[in-house]
Amino acid sequence: MLNEIAFYLIAAVTLACAVAAMALRQLVHCALCAAAAFAGLAMLYLQLDAEFVGFAQLLVYVGAIAILIVFAVLLTRADEIIPGSRQSSPSSLMGIAAALLVLSGIALPVLSSPSLHRLPVTTAAAPVKLIGVELMTRYVLPLEMAGILLTAALLGAVVIAMREEPETKLDPRPPAPRRAETGEVVSLP
């Protein structure tokens, strides 16, 4: 009973934050609400006793990706749009239709799946050791692929950042001798 109340509460907060993340005017507010939505997701994982995934979600999403979004917003100064101007275009109807399509595509299979009728799991939650063992034996190939992908992304970021810096080396030649030293009169421009 307490579990259900907790679930509804967390789900309501997550949904509200997610809606706010797209509906608010100030872009930084949207980013912060998105971070709150990530935290809500993490709490849902924790409510399902998935400790590792929950904390990893917090660490990665709230600790890194939210900050990345915020930095991107700030460095591009994209939040300087006039607040209060609502853009309504004829394609918004198509947008709503597409959204409904996607929602039904996700919701219908979930609602009609047999997993809803399964009894709740009574076995203990997977300890982290088990996750580690599985990652190193059964899922080692996806782990290594993810590692390679992340390394490539990191290296690419460093390369891009390095290339953008212009070469500003000081001119190593000594400055030209002043004409006044040779005795001539220097006329100032």
Partner 1 sequence: MNALDQIFVSTSHWLTGLTPASVQPLVSMALAIAGLMAVFGTCFAVATICERKILGRMQNRFGPNRVGPFGLFQPLADGVKMLIKEDIVPFSADHAVHFLAPLALTVPVWLAFAVLPFGRNMSAIDLDAGILFFFAIGSASELAVFMAGWSSQNKYALLGAMRAIAQMISYEVPLVLASIPVLMAAGSLSLPAIVQAQNGAVMGGLPRWNVFTPWGLAGFGLFMIAAAAESNRCPFDLPEGESELIAGFLTEYSGFKYALFFLGEYLGLFAVTGLAVTLFLGGWQAPAAALEWLPSWCWFAVKFSALIFLFIWVRATLPRLRLDQLLNFAWKFLVPLALVNLVVAVVWWQSGAWRFPGALELRWLFGAGLLAGPYLWLGRALKGGKPAPHQYRYAE
- 3-state SS assignment for residue 132: helix
What's the closest the beta carbon of residue 105 comes to partner 1, in angstroms?
A: 33
Residue 189's Cβ-side half-sphere holds a number of Cα atoms within 13 Å equal to 0
Interface with partner 1, residue 135, by CB under 8 A: no
Interface with partner 1, residue 30, by CB under 8 A: no
Is the CB of 44 or the CB of 62 nearer to partner 1? 62
- To which residue do tokens 């309501």 refer? 12
Cα–Cα distance for residue pair 56/50, rounded to 1 Å: 10
What's the closest the beta carbon of residue 74 comes to partner 1, in angstroms?
A: 7
Cα–Cα distance for residue pair 177/67, rounded to 1 Å: 53
Is the CB of 23 or the CB of 99 nearer to partner 1? 23
Element (H, E) at 86: none
Which two three-digit tokens encode residue 96?
């709503």
Chain centroid offset of residue 181 CA: 64
Q: Name which position in 71, 97, 144, 152 contacts partner 1 (CB under 8 A).
A: 71
- To which residue do tokens 């039904």 refer? 104
Q: Name which position in 109, 170, 184, 185 contacts partner 1 (CB under 8 A).
A: 170
Interface with partner 1, residue 62, by CB under 8 A: yes
Interface with partner 1, residue 133, by CB under 8 A: no
What's the closest the beta carbon of residue 143 comes to partner 1, in angstroms?
A: 16
Cα–Cα distance for residue pair 165/104, rounded to 1 Å: 48
Residues that bind partner 1 in the complex, under the rule CB under 8 A: 26, 28-29, 32, 35, 39, 42, 51-52, 55-56, 58-59, 62-64, 66-67, 70-71, 74, 125, 127-129, 170-172, 174-176, 178
